[in-house]
Amino acid sequence: MTSPSILVVDDEPDIRQLVQEILQDEGYQVVIAEDAAAAREVRKAGRLDLALLDIWMPGTDGITLLREWAEGGLPFQVIMMSGHGSVETAVEATKLGAYDFIEKPISLAKLLLTVQRALEAGSLIRENLGLKKKLQLPTEPIGVSASMKALHDQVERLSQHDTWVLISGEAGVGKATLAQFMHEHSLRRDGPMIEIKFGSIAPENIAKELFGSEEEDQISYGLFEQADGGTLFLDEVADMDDDMQLRLSSALGSGSIRRVGGADPVDFDVRVIASTRKDLGQEVVEGRFRKELYYKLNVIPLIIPPLRDRQEDVPELLRFYADYFPSSDNLEYRKFTMSAQNALRQYAWPGNVRELKNLVQRLLILGSGEIDGQEVLQILGTDSASPERHSKVGVDFTLPLREAREQFERAYLIEKLREVGGSVGKLAETAGMERTHLYRKLRALDIDPKKLDEE
């Protein structure tokens, strides 16, 4: 894993050289700058974890530079330094987002302790942001079947290697869960895990999301730089258009990216885990996926089998979610009787683990007491062994593909909205879509979450 990157900005050569040597001896990557202009160039060159910033400098002073950085949101921690500090200056710096204030002459012990705490605080902020972005669902694949045990063994063997991995499987089988488990047991587990959902990013925004942007002195770090030192999870890579495939292939091949509006390449250090619900090999044959990108991603292939092929895992998954939702959503705990478990083991599960999770949540919301086989059959609305309910979605198969797809999307989103009580936020999580993109889709399909009863 890459060691933290620290920038030291001070107009006094002896001080910045001394601080650089001290921090390098502690194992940090340290770059130095003599003024604000040089600091801006260093920031353009790559992602920072921490900046030590002198207040009194010729030209642009430290407070002004901090204010400039803070306008775009501080993506790293800042410690101010000064031999002529005041309470007012320290308060102003703190309001702008500075972590702490160190007085000159600098105490070695104070410097090292403050740097350590600032980096720990930055790491904690990133972890908390990550926790807010995802529910605390299983941290490892659940299952007692031979196929899941074999998959678990494969992942454990891969945990001590930095190899790139391509995870294949139908929608809803748990590809993101497996990627998270691999990261948490990898050599990069102390670094960030950043997820890119290609299907939920508007095409016009995807380059900025991935590679970041530069506009005058404002720099926005993209997801590649945010993942530096950790894992980059490329979810559903087959959803990329050809231009994005080309840019991604170039970045992965060179180990560097160019921010939108930027001129210079920026190196990154990430482990790549990709996922796909499609057969990428066949996509290559049919000309929809670039061959060179496929070979870059497909170093170690892992396949998650659909739930219908491992029905012995259903009872364990039911128990997990029956325990999970009472603690996460404050729902009443309900036990699945043997008849309910048997009925669900015979079900085809076209939506895989995601469908099972949603079914358990619905059962806990709508009822109380033990869950028996009859209640399960009622909520499925069909015989548990028949998948026909999921093929009869009200789509006219005589229509052109685009119109049939819109018809299906409308039926799907209306059904999911009803399941989550009309909440667009919960629908975004369930459908795996970015909320802004989802709102546009709802408007395009003329779906009003507040008027579901009229649908």
Within 8 A by CB and 6+ apart from 280, the residues are 166, 168, 237, 238, 289, 294, 297, 298
Q: How far is Cα 37 from Cα 182, in angstroms, rounded to an integer?
A: 41
φ, ψ at 221 (rounded to 5°): -80, 130
Name the CATH topology of 308-390: Helicase, Ruva Protein; domain 3 (1.10.8)
Residue pLDDT tens, the chain, 455 long = 568 899 999 999 999 999 999 999 988 999 999 999 999 888 888 888 899 999 888 888 899 999 888 876 778 899 999 877 666 777 788 888 888 888 888 888 889 999 998 988 887 666 555 544 444 455 667 889 999 999 989 998 898 899 999 999 998 999 999 999 999 889 898 888 999 888 777 778 888 889 999 887 778 888 998 898 899 999 999 988 899 999 999 999 999 999 998 888 999 999 999 999 999 999 999 999 999 999 999 999 999 999 999 999 999 999 999 998 898 888 899 999 999 999 999 888 988 999 999 999 999 998 889 999 989 988 887 433 444 444 444 555 566 667 777 788 888 888 888 887 778 878 888 787 877 778 888 888 888 877 765 55
How many whole angstroms separate alpha carbon 447 and alpha carbon 363? 26
How many Cα atoms sit within 13 Å of 255 on the Cβ side? 5
At 64, is the secondary structure helix, strand, or coil?
A: helix
The half-sphere exposure of 369 on its side-chain side, counting CA atoms within 13 A, is 3
How far is the C-alpha of 410 from the C-alpha of 394, rounded, in Å? 10
What tokens appear for 240 in the block?
Answer: 């990329």
Query: How many separate helices (H) and strands (E) can be counted in the chain?
Result: 19, 14
- The DSSP secondary-structure symbol of 454 reads G
Q: What is the CA radius of gyration of the chain?
A: 26
Please give the structure tokens belonging to residue 115: 């740097």
Place of tokens 């390449």: 265
Helix (H, G, I), strand (E, B), or coil: what is residue 159?
A: coil
356-372 per-residue burial string, b: 16 or more CB within 10 A, e: under 16: bbbbbbebbeeeeeebb
- Pure H helices in 300-452: 314-328, 338-345, 352-366, 373-380, 401-419, 424-431, 435-444
For the chain, the domains span: 5-133, 146-305, 308-390, 401-454
Domain 5-133, CATH number (from 3.40.50.300, 1.10.510.10, 3.40.50.10440, 3.40.50.2300): 3.40.50.2300
* C-alpha pair distances (Å), 416 with each of 49, 411, 421, 424: 41, 9, 9, 10
- Among the CATH numbers 3.50.50.60, 1.10.10.60, 3.40.50.10800, 3.90.550.10, which is that of 401-454? 1.10.10.60
User: Domain 146-305, what fold?
Assistant: Rossmann fold (3.40.50)
Fold matches, 5-133 and 401-454? no
Residue type, 363: L
Q: How far apart are CA 108 and CA 255, in angstroms?
A: 36
